[in-house]
Structure 1
Amino acid sequence: MKPKTATLKITDVFLTILITLLLCSLIFSAPVKTGTIKGVIIDQSTGAPLTGATILLLRDENEEYINGTSTDKNGSFEFQSLQLSNYTVRVRFVGYQTKVLKSITLTEERTEFDVRKIQLEPMPVEMEEVSVTGEKPTVRFEAGKQIIDVDKNILSSSGSAVDVLKMSPTVEVDAQGNVSLRGEANVKILIDGKPSSVAGDNNNNVLQQIPSSAIENIEIITNPSAKYEAEGITGIININLKKKSEQGVNGMMTVSGGTGDRYNSSLNFNYNPGIFNLFANYDFMSVINKVTNQVTRTTQSSGSSSHYIQEGMIYEKFKMNNVKAGFDLIPSPEYFFTLYTNYRYNSPDIGWNMNFNNYQNSAVNSSYSRTLQATQPFESMDVVFNSKRQFEQKGHELTMDLYYSRFEMNAHALYGFIPVTGSNTISQFPDGSRENNMNNLINTYTAQTDYIRPFEKGDKFEAGIKGIIRNYNSDFLTLTNAIIPGQWIVEPNSQDRFRHTENIYSAYAMYSGIFDAFNYQAGIRSEYTGAETELVGGKITNEQNYTDVFPSLAAGYKFNETDQIQLTYGRRINRPSVWMLNPWKNNIDPLNARYGSITLTPEYTNALELTITKFLGKQSITPVLFYRYTADVITQYTFLGNDGVINTTFVNGAKSRNFGIDLTYQAPVFQWWTLGATLSYYKQILTSELPGLNIDRNDYLWNGRINSNFILMEDLSMQVFALYRPAMVFPQGKRNEFYFMDMALKYDFLDKKASVTLRVSDILKSMRFTSTTSGAGYSMENKFEPNQQQISLGFSYRLNNGPKITDRKKEPESIQMMNNY
C-alpha cells in the first residue's frame, strides 16, 4: 500500500475528528461563574520583584490544597477559573520567611481579588558586611520537567544553547556538541514547542547555532505524556526564545566578544499599544573553532600488522544571522492571533590539514598529506500562524497552529591527497584532488488543532489532531583530477540522488484530575506513518507504512504544600533519521567511510519514571528514578573492510535496558551563596540479537556536577560550575574520563537595566576527549582536543519593561504537561 493512498484515508478520519471537536466546544461552552486571585511578590527591603516564588492556593476553612504556581519574571502570579469561595494564599521563597494571607473571598459581586504587592522578609542570617536578597535557582523542577532559566545562568551569557545544556542535570554534551539524555542521543529538539527548519537533518544544528542571549529558558522533559509527539525515545528538549510583549515600547540589547574570535549579539524589540503587539529580534554569532585531532589505527591480517597515525588541525569558522519578526493581534478577550517568520543564514567555512604515517611491521612504509577546504552555506525559514478561541470559562479553549519550515544547504568540499614519502598504497584515493558537491533541501508542512475543556475541582479533558508532511531531497556528486591528470571528471559511482518522504498523522485524548491529595492523568495517542525512501541512481527503494499506539499514565500524591511524589509511564518511538537511511558511501578520509541503511526500522521504548520532591527547610532534594526498555535498537556498527577501510553504518540489531537515578540538591548555604549539585548514576545493558554482531554492553555509568551562585555585593554576582564524568564503555569501545570548570562574574548597574559579564571557560584546560574502538582485525584510538579555554566580555541593556499583558495565545505544546501538578 502506497503512503499516498493511505494518506487520503487518514485525512478523512482526521477531518471527522476535527468536526467532532468543534461540536464538543459548542456543547460544553455553557457559561460558568468563576473568579480570579492575583498579586505581585516583592522583596520587603528593596522592592524588587521575586521571580520563581512558590504560591499555594488553599481552601480557607481546612487548608485543603487547591492549586499551585510560581511567579513570573515580574514577580506576578494569577489563579483563574476559581469557584466562588473563601481561600488562603501561602507564599514561599528560598531565603525568605513564609507569608500567609487568609480570608480571600470571591463572590458574585467580587469575582477578581487583587492582593497587590506581597512583601517577603528575608530570613535572619548573620552577615557582617553586605545585605543581599536570595537568588532563584538556575534549574527548577516544575510540572514533570526541568526548566533552565538562561537569564540566571551567567556562565552561558556569551555562548550557545549547547553551553546552557552542558550545565543541566541529565544532559551530556560530547566533543562535537552532540547532546544526549541519560547516555542516549535520541532526543527530540523543539523551538517554542515546534520542530524547526534550523535542525536540517541534524538536531545538533539547532543547539550550536542559537545564541544563549536569544533564549528565555530551556525545558527538559524526560517522560512526556500522550499530548506530545511520540518522537524522541529519551525525551524532549524545548528551547523557548525571547519574545517581548510588555505594553509600550520595550527592548533589550546584548553584545559580547572574547578570545578565539568569538562574538555574539542580540536585539529584541516590541511595540504594544494594547490591541496588538509588534515584535522583532535579530541575533548574530561569529565563532572560530580550532581542534587538534589524532587517530591511531592498528590492523592485523595474515600474521602482519599495519599501523597508521593520522594527526592534524581542524579549523571551522561560521557566521550565523537570525531575524524573527511578527505580530500578535488581540481583537477581543476571546480571540488571539499570532503570525511570525523566522529566517536564519549560516556560512561555515571548514578546513583541515592531516598527515598520515603508515607503519608496516613497525617500519615506516609511507607518509601522506591530506587537505580539505569546504564551504557549507545554508539557510532556513519558519512561517508560523497561531490562533486561539477562549470561551467564557477560563481554560476552555480551541487552538489551531499552522507552520511551514524550509532548510537548504549547498556544500562544496575540495580534498587534496599527496604522498610525501613512499608509494601510494591506498587505492580508494589516487594522487590528486577530489571535489565533493552536495545539495540538501527539506520542506516540512504541519497543521494541528487542540481542544481543552476544564471542569470543576481541577479536572480537565484535552484532545487534538496533527498532521506532518516532510520531504527530503539530497543530490551529490564527486569530481576528480586523479584519473586523467589535469582534467576534472565525475568519479565513477559517486553521483546519486537521495529522496525521503515522511507523512505522520496523529490524534490524542487525555483526561486529568485531582482527588484530595491525589492527582492523575491518563492519555492515549495514535500515530500513522507513511514513508518512502529511494536512492535514485542506485535503484534502491524502500517503503514503510505503520500505525502505532502510545499510551501515557501519571499519578501523584502531595504530602503537604511542598513535598510530593509522582509516577509516570510512557511509550515512545525513534524513527531513523535521513543520514542513518542514506546508503550513499561517504569516504570521510582514505581510511574511514560512513553510510546508512535504507531498510532501518523504528525503535520503540517503554519508560517508567518516579519523581520525589522533598524540602528540608530551605533545602530541596529531588531524586528521579527511571527505567527504560527499548526494542529494535538502532545502533552504530563499525567493521574493517577487505580494502583496509574502516566502515561505519547502522543496524537494527539489539535490545537495551537502562535504569538509574538522578539526584538533584539545591540549597542556600548562606543568604549570599546558593549551591546546586546533581549526581546521575545509571546502568546500561545492550544485548545483540544478530549473530556475529559484537556490540554488547553492560556497564554502570555516572557523572556529577556542582553549580554555585554567589552574591558578592548588591549588584555583583559570581557563578562557578564544575563537571566530572568518569570513563565509560560503549558498543565496540570505551570513552575516557572527562572534566572541566567554568567561572563568570556579572555586575548590574543603571538601576539593573544594564549589566556587564566576564566569563572564563575551561579554566583547567582539561576538555580533552579520548575514545577507543575495536573490532575483528583492528583497533583505533581517537584523541580530540577543542580550544574551549576562552575569556569573553559581554554587555546588555534593557529599554523599559512595561506591564506584561495577559498572553491569551496557546502556550507552546512542550510546556503544557500536567498543569494540575
Structure 2
Amino acid sequence: MSNKLLLFILSLLPTFTWAQGRPQGMEGRERPKIGVLGGQIIDEQTSEGLAFATISLFSMRDTTKLVTGALADDEGKFSINEIPFGRYQVKVSLVGYDNYTYPNMIGFKPDNYKKYIGKIILSSSAQELNEVVVVGEQEIVSAGLEKRSFNVAADLGSTGSDALQLLSNVPSIDVDLDGNISLRGNSNVKIFIDGKPSVLGSSDYLEQIPSESIESIEVITNPSAKYSPEGMSGILNIKLKKEKLKGTQGMVKVSAGTGDKYNTTLGLSHYQGKFNVNANYSFRSDQRWMESNAYRESFDENGNIISTSDQNSTGNHTRNAHMFTTGIGYQFNKYNSITLGGKFNSFNMDRKTLQTNIDQNGSTTTSDNFMNNENQMAEVSLSYQKKFVNPAQNLEISASYSEGNNGGTQDFGSTQTFNDIRGDMKMANFQIDYTQPLGDRFKLEAGTMITLNSSEEDFIAYNRASDGSLIRDTRLDNNFLYDQQIYAAYGLVSGEVLPSLRVDAGLRIEQAYINSELKTTGEAFDYPYFKIYPSFAISKTFDNESELMFSYSKRVNRPNHRMLNPYIDQSNPENLRQGNPYLEPEFADSYEIGYTKSWNKLTLTGAVYHKYTDNAITRVSYAVAADTIMSTYANLAQGTNTGFELIANSQLTSWWNIDGSFNYFYQVYEGHEDESGTDLSNSGTSWSLKVNNRFNLWKGASLQASVSYNAPKQVPTGEFGSMTIMNLGLQQKVLQNRGTLTLSVSDPLDIWQGNVYNYDETYAQYRDFKRESQIAYISFSYTFGELKNAFSGKRKSKGGKGSDSSSDYDLY
C-alpha cells in the first residue's frame, strides 16, 4: 500500500515542480490578449481619490465567485490587467464607505478587451473609523447554473437553530423529522465543511453546529471532476464564519427561546499588515419534547389479520453543544501565504421516552427508556497558497486531520437491556490544486487528493435482572471496525471555444479501498475498486442577461460505517434498525440542462435533470416477526430520478423582496426481493415548494415570512407523507446600526409533523411522529471594533463601514 501511495504522489510532482519553477517576471514573453479594466474611485463629498479601495470582479455565471481584482492607488486610480474573456459584475468596497456595485455588466471579447468605467463615487458611512458597522441588505439565496448559495445571516428565521435545521430552508434541500437529508428528492448527498471532508460533515454532527457559527451553505448539483464524486445528488458545502475585516473587530450575540433554549456566540478577529487571526465560539442549549404513534397489522399467507399493535411514545431530549473555531494567516508577500486553522466541538444529549403498547387482546404494557450520548471532535488544518503574476494561475496545498469520539449508554426498560457504547472516528485529508492558463482563452486545473477515514464502534450489552443488577450478555456485543482509503487525481480543461460558448471537460480517477470487520464474530468485508469519473459542461451566453448550460458527471455513493454496521438498534423493540455489511457503492450518471435569465428586478434559474443509478442503495423495511419490523439498507438493481426545478429571485417593490423554489420529480426503483420475499420495486412522483418573503418596514426594520411544503414521496416498501412548515422573523437595527434585535417564531401554526406508511405481503404499518417545533426566539447581536491601525503608515479614510466583498482578496 505504501509503495502505491508513494508512486501515486511522485507521478504528480513534475506538474507542480514545473508550476513552481516558472520565472515570476516572465520577461520577454508576449502578454496575453485578455481584458483590461481601468477607472478611479472618488469620495462623494470631497471629490478626492480614495486610496486602498478594493475593486473586485465576480463572474456573471456565478456571482459568488471572485475572479480577480485590485487595490486603488493613492489617487484612487486602478487598472486590472489580464482579465479572462467573459462577463463580470464589478464591486467596490472600502472600510468606512457604502458598498458599490457597478450597474452594468462588463464584458471582454477578443475585439473589445479594454474598458474604462470612469469615476465611481463612494458615499461615506455615518460612523467614525473606529466603529465597525455593517449595514445593507443581503440576498438570502444567490442562484447560479453551477451552484447556489444560501446566506445564513440574511435568514431571520435561523436564530437558535443548527446546521441540520438550516438545511431545511435551502432551496432543493429537504430534511425529515429523523434528520435524513435529501437534495432534489435523493438522500445521497455529500456534505463538506469549508470545502473539505470533515468528521463534522457526517449527519450525526450537523445538529451540533449552531447556526450562529455558519456563514453560508453552498449547493452544487452537478459538480465537475475537480470535486469529489461522492454524493449522488450533489454536494453541500457548509462555510463556517471567519471574520475578515481589516483591523480588530468583534461580534457578540445572545438569544433565548421558549422552553429553555439558549444560544451564545462570540467572534473576534484581527488583521494587521501581513498577519491575521480570527476566533469564534458558540454555545447552544436546547430542550424539546417528542411524540410518535405507530399502528401495525400483521397478515398470514391469505392476507388475514393475525395480530395488531398500537404503540405510543412520548419523551424529551436535552442537548448542549460547544463549538470553537480559529484561524491564523500570514502573507509572506503578495504571492505566498499560509493559513493554520482549528475546530473543536463538544456535545452531549439526554433522551427519555415512555412507551405504551396495546396488542390485539387489549393488553397494555409500558416501559421507560433512557439514552445518553457524549462526543467531542477536534480538527486541525494547514494550507499554503501561491499566486503568480497572472491572477488566473494559482497553486494551493492543503492538509487536515480531524478526530471525534463518542460514548453513551442505552437503558431499555421495554426489553430490560442496557448497552454501553463507545466509538471514535478519524479522518485525514491531503490535497494539491493547481490552475494554469492555456493561452488566451483556456485554463488547466489539475490536482490530487488523498482521504483516509476510519472508525470503531464498540457496543457492550447487558441484561437487567429482576433485582436491577446488570448481567453481561456477550451474544449481543458488537465491535465493528471500518476503514476507507481514497487516492484520487483529476484534470479539468475549460475555456471559450467560441465567443460566448464555453466548454469544461474533466476526468477524475480514484482507487478506493473499503474494509470493515465485525470483531465479535471475526467476519471481514473488503471491497477495493478502481473507477474513472468523467465530467463535461457546455454553456452558451445569448446576451448580457441569459445563459444556457448542459452538464454531465459520474457520481458515487459509498456506504458509511453506520450503514454497514450489523448492530441491531433496539431502542424501539417493535421497530428495529440494522446496518448491512454487504452493501456495495452505488454509481450514477447525472445529466442536467440549466437556463438562467435576468431582468431588472427578477432572476429566474431553471433546470431539467435526470439521474440513472446502478446498484442503488435504499432503506427498506420488512417483518421479522408478527409484532416486529426491521429497517435496514439494500442494493437495488437500479433507479432513476427525473425532474425539473425553478428558482426565482425578485424585488417586487422597493420594500418587498421574494424568492422561491419549486422542484418536481419522478422516481423509479427497480429492485430485488428482500428477506421477506417482497419485491422492492416502486415508483411515483413528488414535489416541493419553498417561498420566502422579506419586507422592509421602516428604517432599520424588516420582516421575513417563509413557508415550505413537501408532497408525499414513494420509497421501496412504502411512502413518506407530506410535511409543511412556516417561519416568521422580525428584525430591527439599533444603536446606530451596531446592534440588531431579532424576534423569530418557527412553525407558528404548529403543523410540522411527519408520517410514513410501510407495507409488504406480511404487514402494514402507519407511523406518525412530531417534535417540538413551535418556538419563539428573541436575540440581540452587537458588533464592535477598532480599525484605526488598519492602514499602518497610510492615509486614513472617513467612516466606519466594513464589507466582506473584498475579503477573499485582502485576507490571503
| Deviation at residue 768 of structure 1 after TM alignment | 1.6
User: Structure 1 residues 184, 545: closer, same or farther in 2, change over 3 A?
Assistant: same
User: Structure 1 residues 40, 646: closer, same or farther in 2, change over 3 A?
Assistant: farther
Give the conservation status (yes or no) of the 8 Å contact 1:685–1:698: yes
Residue pairs, 1:235-274, within 5 angstroms = 235-274=234-273
Which amino acid is the alignment partner of residue 313 of structure 1? Answer: T
Q: Distance in 1 between matches of 2:84 and 2:447?
A: 33
- Name 2:129's counterpart in structure 1: none
Which amino acid is the alignment partner of residue 208 of structure 1? Answer: E
Q: Distance in 1 between matches of 2:759 and 2:153?
A: 44
Equivalent residue for 1:20, pick from 15, 22, 26? 15
| Deviation at residue 193 of structure 1 after TM alignment | 0.5
1:493 is paired with a residue whose SS is helix
Q: Are 2:337 and 1:336 aligned?
A: yes
| Deviation at residue 799 of structure 1 after TM alignment | 1.3
- Name 2:428's counterpart in structure 1: 445
Q: Distance in 2 between matches of 1:545 and 1:630?
A: 20
- Name 2:473's counterpart in structure 1: 491
User: Which deviations, in whole Å up to 9, do the C-alpha atoms of 1:196-234 show, x marking residues without a partner?
Assistant: 2234xxx32343222222111110011101001111111
Larger RCO (CA under 8 A, 6+ residues apart): 2
User: Which deviations, in whole Å up to 9, do the C-alpha atoms of 1:375-413 show, x marking residues without a partner?
Assistant: 100000110001112222223222111110101000211
User: Structure 1 residues 99, 579: closer, same or farther in 2, change over 3 A?
Assistant: closer
Give the conservation status (yes or no) of the 8 Å contact 1:134–1:671: no
User: Which deviations, in whole Å up to 9, do the C-alpha atoms of 1:689-708 show, x marking residues without a partner?
Assistant: 45844222211111112111
Q: Distance in 2 between matches of 1:256 and 1:698?
A: 45
Q: Are 2:712 and 1:727 aligned?
A: yes
| Deviation at residue 23 of structure 1 after TM alignment | 2.3
Give the conservation status (yes or no) of the 8 Å contact 1:541–1:598: no
| Deviation at residue 809 of structure 1 after TM alignment | 9.6
- Name 2:685's counterpart in structure 1: 700
- Name 2:328's counterpart in structure 1: 327
Q: Which moved more, 1:547-556 or 1:722-731?
A: 722-731
Give the conservation status (yes or no) of the 8 Å contact 1:71–1:77: no
Q: Distance in 1 between matches of 2:738 and 2:258?
A: 26
Unaligned runs of 5+ in 1: 45-52, 58-64, 105-109, 121-132, 418-428, 812-821
- Name 2:385's counterpart in structure 1: 388
- Name 2:529's counterpart in structure 1: 546
User: Which deviations, in whole Å up to 9, do the C-alpha atoms of 1:15-46 show, x marking residues without a partner?
Assistant: 221343222442486637686658889999xx
Q: Distance in 1 between matches of 2:603 and 2:270?
A: 40
Which amino acid is the alignment partner of residue 9 of structure 2? Answer: F
Q: Distance in 1 between matches of 2:636 and 2:456?
A: 28
1:377 is paired with a residue whose SS is strand
Give the conservation status (yes or no) of the 8 Å contact 1:567–1:609: yes
Which amino acid is the alignment partner of residue 376 of structure 2? Answer: E
Q: Distance in 2 between matches of 1:782 and 1:478?
A: 28
Q: Distance in 2 between matches of 1:502 and 1:392?
A: 40
User: Which deviations, in whole Å up to 9, do the C-alpha atoms of 1:632-670 show, x marking residues without a partner?
Assistant: 011222111247421122211231111111111221111
Q: Are 2:583 and 1:588 aligned?
A: no
1:228 is paired with a residue whose SS is coil
Q: Distance in 1 between matches of 2:161 and 2:600?
A: 35
| Deviation at residue 68 of structure 1 after TM alignment | 8.2
| Deviation at residue 85 of structure 1 after TM alignment | 12
- Name 1:144's counterpart in structure 2: 146
Equivalent residue for 1:368, pick from 365, 368, 383? 365
User: Which deviations, in whole Å up to 9, do the C-alpha atoms of 1:422-480 show, x marking residues without a partner?
Assistant: xxxxxxx3xxx321111111111111111111245442111001111112111111111
Equivalent residue for 1:501, pick from 483, 492, 503? 483
Residue pairs, 1:96-245, within 5 angstroms = 99=103, 116-117=120-121, 135-142=137-144, 144-199=146-201, 203-245=202-244
Aligned length, in residue pairs: 748
Give the conservation status (yes or no) of the 8 Å contact 2:143–2:647: no
User: Structure 1 residues 569, 764: closer, same or farther in 2, change over 3 A?
Assistant: same
Q: Distance in 1 between matches of 2:405 and 2:65?
A: 41
User: Structure 1 residues 451, 103: closer, same or farther in 2, change over 3 A?
Assistant: closer
Q: Distance in 2 between matches of 1:437 and 1:642?
A: 26
Q: Are 2:408 and 1:407 aligned?
A: no
Give the conservation status (yes or no) of the 8 Å contact 1:388–1:808: no
Q: Are 2:721 and 1:736 aligned?
A: yes
User: Which deviations, in whole Å up to 9, do the C-alpha atoms of 1:275-298 show, x marking residues without a partner?
Assistant: 111111101111112111111111
User: Structure 1 residues 77, 721: closer, same or farther in 2, change over 3 A?
Assistant: farther
Give the conservation status (yes or no) of the 8 Å contact 2:245–2:802: yes
User: Which deviations, in whole Å up to 9, do the C-alpha atoms of 1:754-794 show, x marking residues without a partner?
Assistant: 11000011111111212111123111111101110011001
Which amino acid is the alignment partner of residue 7 of structure 2? Answer: D
- Name 1:358's counterpart in structure 2: 359
Unaligned runs of 5+ in 2: 46-53, 73-77, 93-99, 109-113, 125-134, 786-800
| Deviation at residue 97 of structure 1 after TM alignment | 11
User: Structure 1 residues 606, 803: closer, same or farther in 2, change over 3 A?
Assistant: closer
Q: Which moved more, 1:21-30 or 1:472-481?
A: 21-30
Which amino acid is the alignment partner of residue 413 of structure 1? Answer: Q
User: Structure 1 residues 56, 392: closer, same or farther in 2, change over 3 A?
Assistant: closer
Give the conservation status (yes or no) of the 8 Å contact 2:755–2:769: yes
1:12 is paired with a residue whose SS is helix
Which amino acid is the alignment partner of residue 709 of structure 1? Answer: R
Equivalent residue for 1:656, pick from 620, 639, 649? 639
User: Structure 1 residues 331, 116: closer, same or farther in 2, change over 3 A?
Assistant: farther
User: Which deviations, in whole Å up to 9, do the C-alpha atoms of 1:112-154 show, x marking residues without a partner?
Assistant: 999554679xxxxxxxxxxxx9954311123600101111111
Give the conservation status (yes or no) of the 8 Å contact 1:388–1:809: no
Give the conservation status (yes or no) of the 8 Å contact 2:289–2:315: yes
2:615 is paired with a residue whose SS is strand
| Deviation at residue 316 of structure 1 after TM alignment | 1.0
- Name 1:557's counterpart in structure 2: 540
